[in-house]
Amino acid sequence: MKVAFAGLGVMGYPMAGHLAKAGHEVTVFNRTGEKAKAWVETYGCRSAPSVADAARDAEVFLLCVGADDDVRQVVGEALPALPRGSVVVDHTTASAEVARELAADAERRGLSFVDAPVSGGQAGAESGQLTIMCGGDPAAYARIEPVVAPYTKAIRLMGGAGAGQLTKMCNQICIAGVVQGLAEALSFARHAGLDPMGVYEAISKGAAQSWQMDNRWKTMSEGKFDFGFAVDWMRKDLGLVLEEARRNGAKLDMTAMVDGFYAEVQKMGGRRWDTSSLVARLEPPKS
């Protein structure tokens, strides 16, 4: 199938690579040209000099960029160039509002738009093990499901336009609470004179077990945050969550509090640190 992929960042680069390895005819576009050049050297296929050029003959146009305005810009350039009947798949974590707006624009042009944010991070993108939550028309979803399969562990259509983004917001609410819980448990263990890794061994097989505990407890206890999902990205996501909650009336006391804690981490110099750096507020890294 002829597909295009815009945004070869930490996530998009390996995702587009999986599409090429699966045998699709992939055209990539990246704003910074060197990344597209490196991608073509690794995976073959071709790169395009503009979004419109990448979109011109794509049956499926995928993107994974930064935030709402980036999605508006890239999709705004792609829609007029895409052949009728094509589907746009947006893997960016963005607002439900932008998804609804672009789905309506796409429909007016005889195209479809599926919001399809992902969970699983850089490791999931590289290993092809992402969880994808989608919003859009069921017929468009049925067309894109096999296309994204090479980098998918689990995928689900959650409802109409924006429902994928709303589901991703639930995901981020859960992560905020779990990571703050781990940070407090770790700090408490130290104050209580317990060995942090001993505590992990004792509780990680019980009801407190979580992905974050299995993958982040050790590095949190070592004060290592130079990897993973950046605090700046998490603040963007929690901003989307809190804005949506103001609209729909959900009461998110804990999420709002943790968002404030992440603002403190940013002030400590942790803008690019992994989200597990919440513990640095409680146990400042030793300099």
Among 2, 31, 235, 271, binds ligand NAP (CB under 6 A): 31
The contact mask relative to ligand NAP for 71-110 (x = CB under 6 A, - = no) is --xx-----------------xx-----------------
- Residue 34 sits in the site that holds ligand NAP (CB under 6 A): no
Residue type, 137: D
Burial class (CB in 10 A: 0-12, 13-18, 19+), 267: exposed
Long-range pairs for 79-83 at CB < 8 Å and ≥24 separation?
79/55, 79/105, 79/106, 79/109, 79/111, 80/52, 80/109, 81/51, 81/52, 81/53, 81/55, 81/56, 82/55, 82/56, 82/58, 82/109, 82/111, 83/56, 83/57, 83/58, 83/59
Min dist CB 78 to ligand NAP, Å, is 11
Quick one: which segment of 4-12, 97-105, 198-206, 238-246 binds ligand NAP (CB under 6 A)? 4-12
53-61, 119-127, 191-199, 256-264 -> range binding ligand NAP (CB under 6 A): 119-127
Q: Which residues of 76-106 are buried (b: 16+ CB within 10 A; e: fewer)?
A: ebbbebbeeebbbbbbbbbbbbbbbbbbebb
The CB-of-222 to ligand NAP minimum distance in angstroms stands at: 20
Cα-based distances in Å from 106 to 84, 98, 137, 194: 10, 12, 12, 57
- When binding is defined by CB under 6 A, the residue of 3, 4, 111, 118 that contacts ligand NAP is 118
Indicate the SS3 state at residue 204: coil
Total residues interacting with ligand NAP, rule: CB under 6 A: 24
Q: Which among 21, 168, 224, 286 is annotated as catalytic?
A: 168
Write the burial class of residue 31 (CB in 10 Å: 0-12 exposed, 13-18 middle, 19+ buried).
Answer: middle
Catalytic site residue 168?
Answer: yes
Taking CB under 6 A as the criterion, the residue among 27, 30, 112, 275 binding ligand NAP is: 30
- In the 8-state DSSP scheme, what is residue 285? P
- The smaller minimum CB distance to ligand NAP, of residues 106 and 169, is found at 169
> In this chain, which residue has its C-beta nearest to ligand NAP?
9
Q: Is 248 in the site for ligand NAP (CB under 6 A)?
A: no
The site string for ligand NAP over 173-212 (x = CB under 6 A, - otherwise) reads ----------------------------------------
Nearer to ligand NAP, 66 or 160 (CB): 66
Q: Does 121 bind ligand NAP (CB under 6 A)?
A: yes
User: Candidates 52-60, 67-75, 141-149, 276-284 — which segment interacts with ligand NAP by CB under 6 A?
Assistant: 67-75
Q: Does residue 262 bind ligand NAP (CB under 6 A)?
A: no
Q: Which is nearer to ligand NAP, 74 or 265 (CB)?
A: 74
Query: Residue 155 forms beta bridges with which residues?
Result: 132
Helix, strand, or coil here: 63? strand
Q: How far apart are CA 145 and CA 164, in angstroms?
A: 14
Q: How far is CA 170 from the centre of its chain?
A: 13
Residues catalogued as catalytic: 168
Applying CB under 6 A, which residues contact ligand NAP?
7-12, 30-32, 35, 64-66, 70, 73-74, 92-93, 118-119, 121-122, 229, 233
